[in-house]
Amino acid sequence: MRFLRTERLGSVQTIWLNNPPYNFLTDEVMGELIDLLRTIDGDREVRAVVLTSAVEGVFVSHYSVSEILDGVQSAPVVLNPRTAGAALRMSEFADHVPGGRAGLARAGAGGVTNLRRYHEVCRLMRESSTVFVAALNGRALGGGCELSLACDLRLMAEGPFEIGQPEILVGIIPGGGGTQMLTRVLGAGRALELCLEGAPIDPRRALEIGLVHRLVDPDELLNEAQRTAARLAKRSPTAVRGIKNAIHQGGSVPLEKGLHIERTHFLTAASTPSAKRAMALYLADVEAPIDAGGDISDFVADGLPDWVAGTRVDFTE
């Protein structure tokens, strides 16, 4: 791969984005990433992924503006929401026709295909049974912020870095899922503020509003992300997929539909042999201190940390 570096340590795979000096996302970068993610999705040995950057001080500056501009300059007409929707449907149809994508590119609609490829990368991450941890080692703007939002956890280096959605400053809107994921992560008010202002925020402000989960010393960022990934890699993959689906899909539909999605994944996870073994072991662990004359607080203090660390049960499914 030209733009990605990878390393496997146990059940954790680390991916470094490597397109110096600014680490722009491009169609080629996303092509490599989608191929790698599909491989990971079919590899039962990979249970967690750390996504970071090989470029010092930069996670992703943003998606290549030159590629976006090329895509729209070649378009024969100015689009409105109706014609843009038709172009997207045509792009979806072209996926199933030999040479369809090349034909779209010649017709000036190649940018639509690139946009859908970006969304496919993020979809694979959100729907996977693999846990994704973003280690933001620097600037994460536009498509970089959106790529981090497709991860399950975001750790960011403390320092003079920026994160946000500046697309409106050049007259466009986030196109990699930013409006949708920011609304789900931060709520509509914060999402509107970030997207309308366009001004990046610093790591401390990002932590304050919940855009990132933790701030870490830059020298410790990768180690902390890998430790977090290694711990979460020990969770049940069936439960991981169920939680991600219930939150991402169920959280954006009416409550009754969301509850149905949750119930479906609850029953699916509970029926696995490893979950049955784990629940039986948990009951035994809870009963032991009680039988010895203690109470549930003894288990919480002494036994629960082993469960949190993922060292008590091996979830092999």
Could you tell me the CATH number of the domain that includes residue 176? 3.90.226.10
Residue 172 has pLDDT above 50, yes or no: yes
302 vs 60, residue with greater confidence: 60
Distances (CA, A) of 59 to 51, 63, 141, 170, 298: 9, 12, 9, 21, 44
pLDDT confidence band for 104 (50 / 70 / 90): very low
Q: Are residues 195 and 264 part of one domain?
A: no
Beta strands in 170-238 (DSSP E): 214-216
Per the structure, how many domains does the chain have?
2
Backbone angles phi and psi of 24, in degrees to 5: -65, 145
Predicted TM-score (pTM) of the model is 0.90
Structure confidence at residue 96 (pLDDT):
57
Mean per-residue pLDDT of the chain = 90
Structure confidence at residue 91 (pLDDT):
66
User: Of 232, 261, 277, which residue is a domain's last?
Assistant: 232
pLDDT confidence band for 298 (50 / 70 / 90): confident
Q: Are residues 52 and 160 part of one domain?
A: yes
Residue 93 has pLDDT above 70, yes or no: no
User: Of 194, 217, 232, which residue is a domain's last?
Assistant: 232
Q: Are residues 281 and 210 part of one domain?
A: no
Q: Are residues 123 and 19 part of one domain?
A: yes
112-162 confidence digits (pLDDT tens) = 667 888 899 999 999 999 999 999 999 999 999 999 999 999 999 999 999
Q: What percentage of residues in the chain have a pLDDT greater than 70?
A: 90
User: Of 232, 254, 283, which residue is a domain's last?
Assistant: 232
Structure confidence at residue 76 (pLDDT):
61
Distances (CA, A) of 153 to 46, 136, 187, 215, 291: 17, 11, 17, 12, 39
Structure confidence at residue 94 (pLDDT):
56
pLDDT confidence band for 259 (50 / 70 / 90): very high
Structure confidence at residue 107 (pLDDT):
44
pLDDT confidence band for 287 (50 / 70 / 90): confident
For residue 128, what are the domain limits?
4-65+119-232
Structure confidence at residue 108 (pLDDT):
44
Q: How far apart are CA 127 and CA 151, in angstroms?
A: 10
84 is a domain residue: no
223 vs 297, residue with greater confidence: 223
Low-confidence winner among 81-85, 242-246, 313-317 (lowest mean pLDDT): 81-85
